[in-house]
A and B are shown apart, each in its own frame.
Chain A
Amino acid sequence: MNAQLLFRRAAMALVLVSVAAFSASERNGWILVVGGLLAVAAGSFTHGPRGRALPPWVVRLGVIAAIGWGAAQFAQRPSPEEAPRVVGGVVLAAMLLKLWDRKQPSDWRQVIALSIVLVVASALVSGDFLVGVLVIGYAMALVATTMLYQLHAGAERAAEDRSKVALRPGALPPMEAPHGASPVRHLRRLSVVAMALGVALSALVFLLFPRDSALGGGQQSARTSGFRADISLWRSGRISLSSRVAMTVQLLDPRGAAGELTLPLRMRGAVLEQYFPGAAQWRGDPSRSGDRLYQGDGTGAFQWFATEARNERSNVWTQVVEMRSLASDRVFSAWMPLAIACDESRSFVIDSRTAELSEAASGIVGKPRSYSIRMQAYPSPRIAKAVVGAAMPEPEVDFPVPEVRTIAERIVAEHPDAEIPTAEDIAREPEQRWIRNRRLANLFTEHLSGERFRYSTDLSEFRRRGGEDPIVLFLDRYRFGHCEYFASALVALCRSMGAEARVVTGYMTTEYDSVTDRYVFRESGAHAWAEVRTGEWQWGTFDPSPMDELLAIQRANRTWMDSFRWILDPVEFMWNSRFASFDSRSQAELGDRVATGAKSASAWFTERAGELVERANRWFLLGPAGALWLALVGVTALIAVAAAWVVARRARRASDELGARGQGLAARLALGRDARFYLDALDALARAGMAKPAGRTPGLHADALRASHPEAGEAFADVVRRFYAVRYAGIVPSRADRADADAAVSRLRAALARGYTST
């Protein structure tokens, strides 16, 4: 077996898979192309006929330069999200440089260790399906590669040791590592067994790993889909520019015909009402007061949120959502939802204050694949009140950052023609309140989407100083940012002026597929906008992000590969739904299903066993105690099977070790019984590491034992003498003979326990 050749190939494959994983996590194909070419070239350059390598000082200098580059990159964007990317880049460079160095077994160990770190960094950066497949593939390849490394390194180390200790060079021939027959076949089988065991063990640990219940599926899906159920303005992670399709939506008008709307279509996912200035975070209300649960029956019938909504006939649209790569427990709706339908028996909950829809614990592992929603764009107050519930608590109107009010007042002062109703107007006419809110929202939206503000996903220049709030920095100093900044600014301005407003996150698109009559929402379409209260039960949508720039950025990221992504979409959804989104709730659901399944299986088994016993009882006319009788018969049968196994084992041993091959079963069993003491002696010797070799007679083995273990040798010689008498002289031992033989075996055991005495 050429372990060196096999190992080199396996190691090179491992390196390429790790480079591919990092490339997939960064969504940059050039990393794979350039890195892969360099790795393959290194393989033939350093191991080819000439076997050259880079000078060691070049490699060291390169590694130091890579570390310096990494430090500089991290200094530019010092954040936990950037750290894995930087570390991955440094490790990739170091690994490629190491491949161009001369490779001893210790160097290969470093290359493998670097590839492990690279894969871990890739897993930290992204949990995409492709990255996941490559990471899993890498783990399985690592099993075989590590085994081959041990063989290769072991042989090299042994040869090196041999030449180091030689007193005269060339005194010994080159070492050839001995091996048995079919080493490659055995290694392959062992690798397969190890991989299977590894997958099973890792799956068990994965399922049992404790997960934070505060982080629901939204947090998981944020990493894979761009959508976030919270906003952190200081999070310097990049906005997703992936053109992967998150979901498709078909809009059916009240007559049931699919159609395209002229405006960009927005899908609400999460409503964020609370702002925490210290962390610059927007979050939803965790208490979720007023939630109402709707249980689906799996028939696809609509579950109406209010009777009035069910009876509503005018302007009710149907939205059919089909998830592609996005797996989330959030239910996305374009307008006010009135009912929901799903083919699976899932439960949904609607938040009375915000009309947010999400999946509740349904006992189904995985996220919903498709659902339909009945909705209205401009519901009447009666319908809105019925759906979101009566006695809705007043939303927040104050903003905890005082500087924002100053800015808001300045903006209002700059636009006297905005005709914002005053407090006196509102006191005189309460409806003026909603007019005020709407006009304020329009004013601020116009201000933010004007020429003074610029849409950008690159926030490297957006630097924080001291305890400054990012919204204030955005409004006052920098005036550039992405949709989260624009939406946060609009809501902050409105609230500081007493208008109820909230941030909404979800998706936005203008892409319509006329072939399938569906809107296409891509991951890069994850968006944030604002809702301002414009009525007792109504909230208006206001999007201050500059549309032209935003749409231009999204369109620029589309490539020819997008046309073929539909091939992977079902698999990717399965990955995101079952694996990437597996959270504490999924754990609980799986646990319940396992427990329920185990109970039902146990109950089924007990029931069947009872039926069988009863049937047998009736057949054999055994009467009331028949069950007991059958149980006794069963136990007896088990004992008989065990006894037969023991007898067969004894007969086999008599054939093998007592030289009774060819004799009848009765003779072998009799010999096994009479020479039981001899077998015990052999077992004692084997346990002490002095097993009798197969080709050596008992007498010779006793002589050999005497030379090194005189006491044990004498005791065994006594046992052998008695055995010969039984085996060859035909003597049937009496009870006293058996007792003496057992005593001889005990002496042998005692001598072996005392250890050997050197002569």
Chain B
Amino acid sequence: MRRRYHIHPPGLLYLLLVVLVGLAAANRPSNLLIWVFAAMLAGVLLSGILSGQPLMNLRAQRIMPRTARVGEPVIVRYAISNGSSAWPLFALFVREAAAVRGSRAFAQHVGPGEEVVAETALWPERRGPLRLSRFRVETVFPFGLVMKSVRFDEPAECLVLPRIERLRPGVLASLAGGSVPGPSTSTRPGAGSDFLGIREYRPGDSLRHVAWRRSASTGTLAVIERSVDAPPRIRVAVDLRRPTSQLRADADARAPRDLEEDAIVLAASLLAAAQRDGYETRLCVLGLPSPSMPMRRGHWHLQKELAVLASLDLDAARDAGASLPEDRERAATFVVHVDRADLRVAGPDAVHLGAGQLPALAGGAAGGAA
């Protein structure tokens, strides 16, 4: 924690005015003017005392969410506590030292012994880890002549997930040739519509599930057991085997790195669209190290996949020989390429998409959340 005084331009102007009034008072024998000079000088002294003393017992702690998303505001909160038993704090600004787009948090008043939470919104413009190191609590209260600040060293990190574009409804099915495949039946009992088997009646089974003919023939009650609906499945693969320096810029002259980011955004958008449509998804990243993801569905599974995409370091060495793992489950495969499509990376039924197709696939309002 480090306390500092800062030069504040209005304070300099005020000092200049004090000097001028002092000169006038020295040259012109008017006691009232002398008192005005004395009062102005007292203001400077008071400003230092009233702004410095209360900050001696200031403590602040940053409260940051774990994840954020590109283009969406990250609400960062600061718990500001006043350890003094007598001095209140007023007009406190909190400013981050990190170069991230955002405004300052503001707390109007923190009473003696109180804690107030001020918040600000940061707008991350890049995916990946957002690292904040130190922040500064500053104030020019009470007279705006002197700015005092207290610096807190408190590193924190937040993972910024990639931007998600809202794809047109049904785009997954239409890309997959009309329907997205999945297992025809599931082997897990549940409230689906597929026939799984017949078993004995147990107390609690609904009478609607009773197999009357079998029951009549065997003389004991039997029920029809059905399986859970097997949702459609898609596998999204991002082809990042080629290093950035070997990529070609597209027709719109977007830089290769931007194309790679667009590919990541497209992959994220496909996963989000699939989750919205109730599909099971699995993410595969070719060329960069990434954890192996299972085929699942649901909000948290999507968040894990987005976190994987967010953590991709495009400056790391690429594995040109990477290939898609063998597909044991029946699922539609979508391969997102950065510039040129390599059809050999997946099977004949795979759908190959380029990063430049993102605007066409989105079609509607951009930046929609999953």
Contact = CB atoms under 8 A, between A and B. Distances in A.
A116 B131 CA distance: 46
Interface string B76-108: 000000100000101101000000011111111
Contacts of A151: 90-91, 108-109, 141
Interface string B36-54: 1111011101100110000
A165 B108 contact: no
Contact of A202 (B25, B33, B38, B153): B38
A580 interface: yes
A36 interface: no
A625 interface: no
B28 to A, nearest CB: 7
Given A127-B30, A186-B109, A689-B59, 16 more contacts: A147-B90, A157-B106, A164-B103, A165-B102, A177-B106, A178-B107, A178-B108, A190-B50, A198-B39, A198-B43, A201-B42, A204-B38, A205-B38, A209-B25, A219-B29, A689-B152
A187 B114 contact: no
A190 B54 CA distance: 11
Given A162-B120, A689-B153, A209 B38 contact: yes
A708 B121 contact: no
Contacts of A120: 21, 33, 36
Contacts of A124: 24, 28, 30, 33
Given A124-B30, A165-B102, A206 B144 contact: no
A756 interface: yes
B350 interface: no
B31 A127 contact: yes
20 contacts: A109-B10, A116-B17, A120-B33, A120-B36, A124-B33, A132-B32, A150-B90, A150-B91, A155-B106, A162-B103, A178-B119, A179-B107, A182-B111, A186-B111, A190-B50, A198-B43, A202-B41, A205-B42, A211-B34, A688-B1
Contacts of B104: 158, 161
B93 A154 contact: yes
Given A194-B50, A202-B42, A212 B29 contact: yes
Interface in A177-228: 177-183, 186-187, 189-190, 194, 197-198, 201-206, 209-212, 215, 219-220, 223
A223 B30 contact: yes
B111 A220 contact: no
A194 B34 contact: no
Interface of B: 1, 10, 17, 21, 24-26, 28-39, 41-43, 45-46, 49-50, 59, 61, 71-73, 82, 88, 90-91, 93, 101-112, 114, 116-121, 123, 131, 133, 140-144, 152-155, 367
A175 interface: yes
Contacts of B35: 123, 132, 135-136, 202, 206, 579
A172 B119 CA distance: 12
Contacts of B123: 165-167
A158 B93 contact: yes
B116 A178 contact: yes
Contacts of A203: 38
A162 B93 CA distance: 12
Interface string A126-149: 110001100110010001001101
A463 interface: no
A689 B46 CA distance: 27
A166 B29 CA distance: 56
Interface in A469-514: none
A119 B88 CA distance: 31
A367 to B, nearest CB: 13
Contacts of A155: 106, 108
A181 B114 contact: yes
Kindly name the residue among B25, B30, B106, B131 whose own CB sees the greatest number of chain A CB atoms within 10 A: B106
Kindly name the residue among B37, B42, B119, B155 whose own CB sees the greatest number of chain A CB atoms within 10 A: B42
Contact of B116 (A3, A171, A179, A755): A179
A727 B370 CA distance: 51
A158 B105 contact: yes
B88 A186 contact: yes
Interface string A19-55: 0000000000000000000000000000000000000
A314 interface: no
A154 B106 contact: yes
Nearest to A201: B42
A756 B132 CA distance: 13
Contact of A181 (B17, B26, B111): B111
Contacts of B110: 179-180
A190 B88 contact: yes
B1 A158 contact: no
Contact of B36 (A119, A201, A581): A119
Contacts of A166: 73, 121, 123
Nearest to A117: B17
Given A166-B121, A194-B142, A201-B46, A123 B73 contact: no
Contacts of A537: none
A739 interface: no
A206 B34 contact: yes
A168 B163 CA distance: 14
B31 A579 contact: yes
B34 A198 contact: no
Contacts of B121: 162, 165-166, 172
A180 B31 contact: no
A150 B141 contact: yes
A708 B153 CA distance: 10
Contacts of B154: 689, 708
A211 B34 CA distance: 10
A109 B144 CA distance: 10
Interface in A657-707: 687-689, 691, 693
The 4 closest A-B pairs by CB, nearest first: A689-B1, A158-B106, A205-B38, A201-B42
Given A123-B30, A201-B46, A180 B36 contact: no
Given A172-B121, A205-B42, A580 B111 contact: no
A197 B46 contact: yes
A154 B37 contact: no
Nearest to A756: B153
A180 B140 contact: no
B155 A123 contact: no
Contact of B141 (A127, A147, A164): A147
A123 B93 contact: no
A1 interface: yes
Kindly name the residue among A109, A124, A178 whose own CB sees the greatest number of chain B CB atoms within 10 A: A178
A171 B106 CA distance: 19
Nearest to A579: B31
A586 to B, nearest CB: 10
B114 A180 contact: yes
A61 B30 CA distance: 35
A194 B49 CA distance: 10
A287 interface: no
Given A154-B93, A164-B103, A190-B50, A179 B153 contact: no
A131 B33 CA distance: 11
B109 A183 contact: yes
A275 interface: no
A734 interface: no
A197 B48 CA distance: 12
Contacts of B116: 178-180
Interface string A92-106: 000000000000000
A689 B55 CA distance: 13
Contact of B59 (A127, A202, A691): A691
